[in-house]
Amino acid sequence: MNTIFLDACRGLPVERAPVWLMRQAGRYLPEYMKVREKCGFLQLCKTPELAAEVTIQPVDILGVDAAILFSDILIPVEAMGMKLDFSPAPVFEAPVRTLRGVESLRIPSLEEDMPFLPLLIRLLRRELEGRVPLIGFGGAPFTLACYMVEGKGSRDFATVKKMMYCAPEVFSALMEKLTAMLIAYLGGQIKAGAQAVQIFDTWGGILSPADYERYALPYTSRVIEGLAGKGVPLIHFVKNAGAMLDSVRKAGGDVIGLDWHTALGRARDLLGPDVAVQGNLDPAALFGPRPHIEAEVKRILGENRGRPGHIFNLGHGILPDTPPDNARFMVECVHRLTKT
Amino acid sequence: MNTIFLDACRGLPVERAPVWLMRQAGRYLPEYMKVREKCGFLQLCKTPELAAEVTIQPVDILGVDAAILFSDILIPVEAMGMKLDFSPAPVFEAPVRTLRGVESLRIPSLEEDMPFLPLLIRLLRRELEGRVPLIGFGGAPFTLACYMVEGKGSRDFATVKKMMYCAPEVFSALMEKLTAMLIAYLGGQIKAGAQAVQIFDTWGGILSPADYERYALPYTSRVIEGLAGKGVPLIHFVKNAGAMLDSVRKAGGDVIGLDWHTALGRARDLLGPDVAVQGNLDPAALFGPRPHIEAEVKRILGENRGRPGHIFNLGHGILPDTPPDNARFMVECVHRLTKT
């Protein structure tokens, strides 16, 4: 099996840098769109055969060094008892705003309440055997809380912040529940066969560093501790956290995901040699001509200066209109330019 | 006159920290909404008597130490020849995408093409005399280019980035024109009586540090150089630039504006004693109870450690539903806690 991704997560030297792309299974691929014609997004997540098919597509088409479960961070929140729609952005029609609302949420069992997920993981492990490792994932507690309290995406996240400041007992009850849920949820994924886990904290970066340390870090940290000793590397990605990477590091993770707003070289200097990093090409760079893409890959590799423990990735999810050929070319550049 | 704002911009010691709020004239104030009943947003910007009234409101109501022109960064872009609507977010129905499009734009004259603005500045200087200084402002070239190329706000700014990477000659022609326009536009504001100028780079932070240095910094830097020697301090604010403050500093400015994603103390350490800073309370903190607001003001002042050259402000514009009493309380806290 191609283990360079797992080796790099552990900071080991590898023959060439591993690369995968956040949202690599998605609608920029015509092959994915073909599967999506058959069913909606949530249905696709819940149909193991189809989810497995789209999970493997980028491995075949782009030549990436890891597969990531086709799923959504809000799937376990739905299983907690919140009605979820995608239109196409996620919407909870009844957001959580009260202690009673929090108390009515349950901590679901992966095997019983989301059986399609362990099924998908087992199916993928069989189908991927001998090729690349499988990454499981979940949202960070704070990011899930944002969606659950706001009910949808938000520009200012004023509702969740109001709850933090004005009803801290409701906020912390919600975060406690999410923390317990995530330990079970991600632990279940590992048990089913996920070989690494990524925590996506999409919204942690809307907080000031002081608020991040108070309202988000302690919970993420407990999730990460709760997964320690399970033998799989953990990638911790907080978007827009370039000015508080030391806090992100404090929360934990074997690998720190970097968005493109942070210079990778500087981030490595700050984080030190004991933690690996993942990133961090601007997804929009894939709209550029090939010389631009290659120059950007070179720049990022140059910033890494050959240090072990670098997984090449985008700094955020691949954009919907990305030409697949450009994504493939990027993967090829990383492989060619790092071959030892 | 209350000169503590201007003194702090110049790094001079002051008797207490000056404070103002980005978007302090705006729809969280019932007094503003009353004026807005009479006319639309753009019309309000273009009617000096009414614009002066709403500019002065926060000076009277909140007790802030500076007034900022009621206007919009896209006003001069409209004067360049692009039809602008607010619905309520700004929209250009015919975005600029080609060299011909760029060539058809003209560099407007402040006095001839936007006479309402120098009129407003002169009116405000008369009405404010003996109270607080008047800040003029404009968008950074890159931020204006984003709106002009995308046509409206964007999540990914893929269109403007495509232009940067695939049609650099179109992008640089646009940026050259914007640079020349801004030097004339901001220079005209100063000539009319603006006592400080703030450059808002709302979108500079969507770029990687490398792209910022290539595609945004050189133009902002020329605008700032073009205004040097005019005797008024210049505030340079780039949103979401906490991980590249050294680049922002390189672009110039007497004061660097900080959003709330960056710890102010760390930013000051990095920027050094020769540049002042402005910021950086999370606007959402004003939704909290008074003890929270006071604690946050204290925290930020504590991070500053009494260093001269700190203008207290929010880390971005005040949010629409902010209780005016909380904004007033915040201003009062800053004054009380920094009184020497």
Residue A17, H or E segment: none
CA B310/CA B304 separation, integer angstroms:
7
In this structure, what token pair is assigned to residue A63?
A: 């030549």
Tell me the pLDDT tens digit for each residue of A75-91. 999 999 999 999 889 99
Does the beta carbon of B246 lie under 8 angstroms from any beta carbon of chain A? Answer: no
- Could you tell me which chain A residue has the CA closest to the CA of B157? A284
What is the domain extent for residue B128? 4-338
Coil/strand/helix, residue B139: strand
Coil/strand/helix, residue B197: strand
Q: Quick check: A156 and B319 CB within 8 A?
A: yes
Least Cα distance to A318 among A291, A338, A293, A301 occurs for A293
Round to the nearest angstrom and report the end-to-end CA distance of chain B. 19
Nearest CB partner across the interface for A158, out of B156, B262, B284: B284
Does the beta carbon of A124 lie under 8 angstroms from any beta carbon of chain B? Answer: no
Residue A210, H or E segment: helix A209-211
E strands present in chain A: 67-68, 84-86, 90-92, 134-139, 196-201, 234-238, 255-257, 276-281, 310-314
In this structure, what token pair is assigned to residue A182?
A: 């995530």
- Name the minimum distance, in Å, from the CA of B220 to any CA of chain A: 19
Domain count, chain A: 1
pTM of the model: 0.97
Q: Tell me the residue type at A1.
A: M
Round to the nearest angstrom and report the end-to-end CA distance of chain A. 19
CA B160/CA B163 separation, integer angstroms:
5
- Alpha-carbon distances of A125 from A5, A131, A291, rounded to whole Å: 15, 10, 36
Q: Residue B89's CB: how many other CB atoms inside 10 A?
A: 9
- The pairing of strands B90-92 and B84-86 is antiparallel
E strands present in B165-304: 196-201, 234-238, 255-257, 276-281
Q: Residue A123's CB: how many other CB atoms inside 10 A?
A: 18
Per-residue pLDDT of chain B (340 residues; tens, 9 = 90+): 799 999 999 999 999 999 999 999 999 999 999 999 989 999 999 999 999 999 999 999 999 999 999 999 999 999 999 999 998 899 999 999 999 999 999 999 999 999 999 999 999 999 998 799 999 999 999 999 999 999 998 999 999 999 999 999 999 999 999 999 999 999 999 999 999 999 999 999 999 999 999 999 999 999 999 999 999 999 999 999 999 999 999 999 999 999 999 999 999 999 999 999 999 999 999 999 999 999 999 999 999 999 999 999 999 999 999 999 999 999 999 999 999 8
Q: Tell me the residue type at A117.
A: L
CATH number at residue B276: 3.20.20.210
Q: Which of B28, B165, B259 to mutate to test the interface with A (most CBs of A within 10 A)?
A: B165
Q: Edge-to-edge strand order for the sheet containing A134-139?
A: A67-68, A134-139, A196-201, A234-238, A255-257, A276-281, A310-314
